[in-house]
Amino acid sequence: MEVLYPTRQKWLRGSFFLLTVLSVGGIGRAVHAEKAAPLQTQQEEAPEEKNDTTIANQLEFAVGENRTVSAIDVKNYSEGSPGIVDVKLTSDKTKFVLVGLKPGTSSLLLIKRDGQIVNWKINIFAYPPQIIEQELRQLIRDIARVRLRRMGSRFFLEGSVANEQELTRIKRIVSLYPWQVESLVEVGSDTTDRQTNIRIDFFFIQYNRSSGYIFGINWPKYIGTSDTFTANASYDFLKNSISAKTTIVNQPLPSLDIAANYGWVKVVKQATVITTSGTEAKFYNGGEQNFPTTTATSNSIQKISFGTSLTVLPRFYPVTRDLEINMNAEVSDLTPSIAGTVLPGRQLSNLSTLVKIRLGQSLLLTAINTQSQRHTNKGLPLFSQIPILGPLFSSQNNMDEELEGAVFIVPSVVDSPLRNTIDIVQKALEEYEDYSGRIKGMEIYNRQPWSGPSS
């Protein structure tokens, strides 16, 4: 039997304890290694994530101008349509320098190291947008209904024009700037124009005076002709009687002319039309007279119209406070018939014009002042031309006429009614009930053009 001394026994216990600790530590590290090994393998087997996002950008500049694009982390790049943009890489390979060569559209595709794709759409124009904007504002300055709108480096002309001539002008302006300016202008009125009510008062004033006389001895044209005397004879067999009739057709003796005439006419007409800006309005007030006419083969009815016909097309420009009016007006009145016919004459005034005035101003559209004198002398040759004694051998006819007239318009913008609509109708009905044949003092509507404030 082996005896263990105390000193050796203590040494053996310490060695056993040390071996136990080392064994436990090794087992722990082995277990930890077994648990960590699958995670490390999983991380090594996981595929590398890539960023395949595509970003779209846009560049717009003129021919000869330069732009730069970042080239950091760019692995590859590709240029679109050649000859439109010159693409160069700086010496430090951090930026692309783009130079516009000619008008057109191209692209630049950048592929970065992380897989991200950046696509640049490049529009090259012939002129810089700042210069184009200045030139367009100068060219359309006198066309108030056309507005300029800018979206990026492109420009749009919006609004309306009055006729085809103005539309042709707009198209020629657009053709000067291809790829950069587009036209949305139309002939007529747009919704912006039709938001304003326009009142137009049309005044027609005319004065006419005429006078004349016929004085002298009216001598016959023929003496001793076969047409001077006519004779007719008839026999009645039932009554057994004869009847005869002699007629002097052309008076062989002279007659005395001592007639004179004098008269005057004054006419005033007012027509009021309310319409929206850019919308044509028509007004007619008058009538027709029917007169029978007879020809060699048939009978018919001749219609003669008279009255006031008015056609207006107003356009209001809120920015400049100007008003453009395209007007066609016709005023006609019947005149007494000329001797030898039953058909009356017609006095006619016609006006067609395009004017531009300030809001609230009145304008004289047309004026007329005429004087005419007609003098005829009918009598015996030579003797009728003797001074002082001439009227004894002739008949003198003299006619003087004077005419003066004018046409005025007074436009105004109707922002709000002056009175309640029901009050206007009620007042008109009350005046209708009170009317007893006297027009003076009756006022169905306010004849004075309204010039109230307008914003």
Does 363 lie in the same domain as 215? Answer: yes
The pLDDT score that the predictor gives to residue 120 is 92
Residue 19's pLDDT band (boundaries 50, 70, 90)?
very low
Residue range of the domain that includes 384:
198-219+254-414
Residue 250's pLDDT band (boundaries 50, 70, 90)?
low
The pLDDT score that the predictor gives to residue 338 is 67
Does 367 lie in the same domain as 276? Answer: yes
Does 374 lie in the same domain as 302? Answer: yes
Please give the C-alpha separations between residue 328 and each of 33, 89, 351, in angstroms, as whole numbers: 105, 69, 6
Which element (helix H / strand E) includes 37? helix 6-45
Tokens of 276: 């929206």
Tokens of 63: 């021919």
CATH of the domain at 80: 2.60.40.10
Tokens of 452: 């109230």
pLDDT(221) > 50: yes
List all residues 6 or more positions away from 334 whose beta carbon is below 8 Å from its beta carbon.
289, 304, 306, 344, 345, 346, 347
The pLDDT score that the predictor gives to residue 18 is 45
| Residue 46 is assigned to a structural domain of this protein | no
Does 149 lie in the same domain as 103? Answer: no
Does 148 lie in the same domain as 105? Answer: no
| Residue 393 is assigned to a structural domain of this protein | yes
Does 330 lie in the same domain as 361? Answer: yes
| Residue 353 is assigned to a structural domain of this protein | yes
| Residue 3 is assigned to a structural domain of this protein | no
For the chain, how many structural domains are there in total? 3
Distance in angstroms (rounded) separating the CA atoms of residues 291 and 241: 45
Does 183 lie in the same domain as 167? Answer: yes
CATH of the domain at 151: 3.30.1340.30
| Residue 387 is assigned to a structural domain of this protein | yes
Tens digits of residue pLDDT in 324-358: 888 888 888 888 776 667 778 787 888 888 888 88
Tens digits of residue pLDDT in 284-326: 888 888 878 777 778 888 888 888 888 988 888 777 778 888 8
Strand 394-414 with 197-218, pairing: antiparallel
Strand 95-100 with 345-358, pairing: unpaired
Does 175 lie in the same domain as 278? Answer: no
Does 394 lie in the same domain as 273? Answer: yes
Does 269 lie in the same domain as 378? Answer: yes
Does 336 lie in the same domain as 202? Answer: yes
Amino acid of residue 132: I
Does 139 lie in the same domain as 92? Answer: no
Mean pLDDT for 206-210 is 89
Residue 98's pLDDT band (boundaries 50, 70, 90)?
very high
